Amino acid sequence: MEFLHIIIGLAFAVFYMYVAYRIVDKAGFNGWWALTSLVPLLNLIMPVIFAFKPWPALEGTSAKKSGFQAPPPAA
């Protein structure tokens, strides 16, 4: 039974790392930053830093330069 708990825990850890990698990669940062999710306390701080830091993936796009744009009014 203990072996099953270890396998399930590892499966959740691998899935969590995959999700963290995908988020960090889509934002334009190096995928290795996903490893910070394994460090206690740092895994709570880094998402806040990534949320408010400019994303390299948005550099040069109009979304970064002009911010949120409302849709044009309906005619």
SS3 percent helix, strand, coil of the chain, rounded to 5, is 70, 0, 30
Task: Report the pLDDT averaged over residues 35-55.
Answer: 87
In 10 A of CB 57, how many CB atoms? 13
At residue 67, does pLDDT exceed 80?
no
Grade residue 75 by pLDDT with cuts at 50, 70 and 90. Answer: low
At residue 54, does pLDDT exceed 80?
yes
Between the alpha carbon of residue 35 and those of residues 1, 7, 48, 60, the distances in Å are 29, 20, 15, 28
Percent of the chain with pLDDT over 70: 83
